[in-house]
Structure 1
Amino acid sequence: MKSAFYILLISLSSFVVFSNCNKSVSKDKNAQSLLLAGIAGSCFTIDSCFDQYVKTTDEGASFQVYDQSGNKIYARQSVLDYNTYRPIASGSKWVTAITAMRAIDCNTSSVTFANCGTVTTNTCVTGGALSLSRTTGDILGWTGTKGTITLRQLLSFTSGLNAGGGNGSGQVSCISTLPVGATGTQKDSCVNEIRDQSTGTPGALYQYNSNHMAVAQRMLEVSCGKTWDTIFTQLIVNPLGWDASQAVWRGNYRTAEVTDGSLSGAFGLSISPEHYARMLNALLTNGTAKNSSGANIANFLSTTSVTEILADQYNGAKIGYSQFSAFGYRWQYGLGNWRFCTTTDIPAECDRDLISHSIGINGFFPWLDKNRNYMAILAVNNIGRKNGLSLLPASSTSLFFAETVRPLIHLQIGR
Structure 2
Amino acid sequence: MKKHIITILALTFSIAAQAQNFQPVDRWLDDNAAKMGGRVMLMVYKDGQIVYSRSANNMTMAQKMAGRMMARRMGQTPSFDDYTASTRQPMASCSKWFSAALVMTFIDEGKLKLTDTVGKYLPMLSQHGKGRITIGQCLSHLTGIKAPELRESMADMRNARSMDDAINQIAQQPIEGAPGTVFHYSNDGLQIAGAVIEKISGKSFETLFTERIAHPLEMKDTDFGKGPVALPAGGAGSTPNDYMNFLEMILNKGTFKGKRILSEKSIAEMQINRLSPSVKIGYSPVEAGNFGYGYGEWVMEGGAVTSPGLFGSFPLVDNQRHYAGFLMCVYIKNDGRNERYKQLKSLLDTAMK
Aligned to 2:269: 308
Query: In the alignment, which of 329, 347, 351 is matched to residue 408 of structure 1?
Result: 347
Superposed, 1:12-27 pairs within 5 Å as none
Alpha-carbon spacing, 1:173–1:362, altered in 2? closer, same or farther (3 Å):
closer
Q: Tell me how far 1:338 sits from its aligned partner.
A: 1.0
Gaps of 5+ in 1: 1-42, 109-128, 180-185, 251-257, 290-295, 342-352, 384-392
How far does the alpha carbon of each residue in 1:13-34 deviate from its partner, in whole angstroms, 9 at most, with x for none? xxxxxxxxxxxxxxxxxxxxxx
Task: Supply the distance in 2 between the matched residues of 1:155 and 1:284 (Cα, whole angstroms).
Answer: 20
Q: Tell me how far 1:57 sits from its aligned partner.
A: 4.2
Aligned to 1:76: 54
Aligned to 1:223: 200
Aligned to 1:237: 214
Task: Supply the distance in 2 between the matched residues of 1:402 and 1:143 (Cα, whole angstroms).
Answer: 40
How far does the alpha carbon of each residue in 1:153-172 deviate from its partner, in whole angstroms, 9 at most, with x for none? 001000112214xxx44527
Task: Supply the distance in 2 between the matched residues of 1:305 and 1:220 (Cα, whole angstroms).
Answer: 16
Aligned to 2:331: 382
Task: Supply the distance in 1 between the matched residues of 2:34 and 2:172 (Cα, whole angstroms).
Answer: 46
Alpha-carbon spacing, 1:412–1:222, altered in 2? closer, same or farther (3 Å):
same
Alpha-carbon spacing, 1:318–1:400, altered in 2? closer, same or farther (3 Å):
closer
Indicate conservation of the 8 Å contact 2:307/2:316, yes or no.
Answer: yes
SS in 1 for 2:249: helix
Superposed, 1:323-402 pairs within 5 Å as 323-324=285-286, 329-341=289-301, 353-383=302-332, 393=333, 395-396=334-335, 398-402=337-341
How far does the alpha carbon of each residue in 1:169-213 deviate from its partner, in whole angstroms, 9 at most, with x for none? 45275411134xxxxxx3223212212222132111110111111
Query: In the alignment, which of 161, 176, 198 is matched to residue 158 of structure 2?
Result: 176
Aligned to 2:78: none
Aligned to 1:270: 237
How far does the alpha carbon of each residue in 1:35-70 deviate from its partner, in whole angstroms, 9 at most, with x for none? xxxxxxxx9711111122223443621101111x34
Alpha-carbon spacing, 1:70–1:207, altered in 2? closer, same or farther (3 Å):
farther
Task: Supply the distance in 2 between the matched residues of 1:56 and 1:136 (Cα, whole angstroms).
Answer: 41
Aligned to 2:16: none
Indicate conservation of the 8 Å contact 2:219/2:245, yes or no.
Answer: no
AA paired with 1:312?
N
Task: Supply the distance in 1 between the matched residues of 2:171 and 2:23 (Cα, whole angstroms).
Answer: 50
Aligned to 2:92: 89
Indicate conservation of the 8 Å contact 2:146/2:173, yes or no.
Answer: yes
Q: TM-score, normalised by structure 1?
A: 0.67
**1:317 equivalenced with 2:284 (yes/no):** no
Moved more, 403-412 or 268-277: 403-412
Indicate conservation of the 8 Å contact 1:249/1:260, yes or no.
Answer: no
Task: Supply the distance in 2 between the matched residues of 1:190 and 1:381 (Cα, whole angstroms).
Answer: 27
SS in 2 for 1:312: coil
Aligned to 1:260: 228
Once the two structures are aligned, what percentage of the paired residues are identical?
Answer: 27
Indicate conservation of the 8 Å contact 2:144/2:183, yes or no.
Answer: yes
Indicate conservation of the 8 Å contact 1:158/1:205, yes or no.
Answer: yes
Indicate conservation of the 8 Å contact 2:213/2:261, yes or no.
Answer: no
How far does the alpha carbon of each residue in 1:61-86 deviate from its partner, in whole angstroms, 9 at most, with x for none? 1101111x342111112300111111
**1:280 equivalenced with 2:247 (yes/no):** yes
**1:158 equivalenced with 2:125 (yes/no):** no
Task: Supply the distance in 2 between the matched residues of 1:301 and 1:317 (Cα, whole angstroms).
Answer: 28
Alpha-carbon spacing, 1:405–1:199, altered in 2? closer, same or farther (3 Å):
closer
Aligned to 1:36: none
Q: Which has the higher helix share?
A: 2
Select the structure with the greater relative contact order (CA < 8 A; seq sep ≥ 6): 1
SS in 2 for 1:236: helix
Query: In the alignment, which of 172, 181, 200 is matched to residue 196 of structure 1?
Result: 172
Gaps of 5+ in 2: 1-21, 57-81
Task: Supply the distance in 2 between the matched residues of 1:303 and 1:215 (Cα, whole angstroms).
Answer: 25
Indicate conservation of the 8 Å contact 1:163/1:172, yes or no.
Answer: no
Task: Supply the distance in 2 between the matched residues of 1:196 and 1:58 (Cα, whole angstroms).
Answer: 36
Count of aligned pairs between the two proteins: 302
For the aligned residues, what is the CA RMSD? 2.4
Task: Supply the distance in 1 between the matched residues of 2:310 and 2:317 (Cα, whole angstroms).
Answer: 18
Alpha-carbon spacing, 1:194–1:338, altered in 2? closer, same or farther (3 Å):
same
SS in 2 for 1:143: helix
Alpha-carbon spacing, 1:298–1:158, altered in 2? closer, same or farther (3 Å):
same
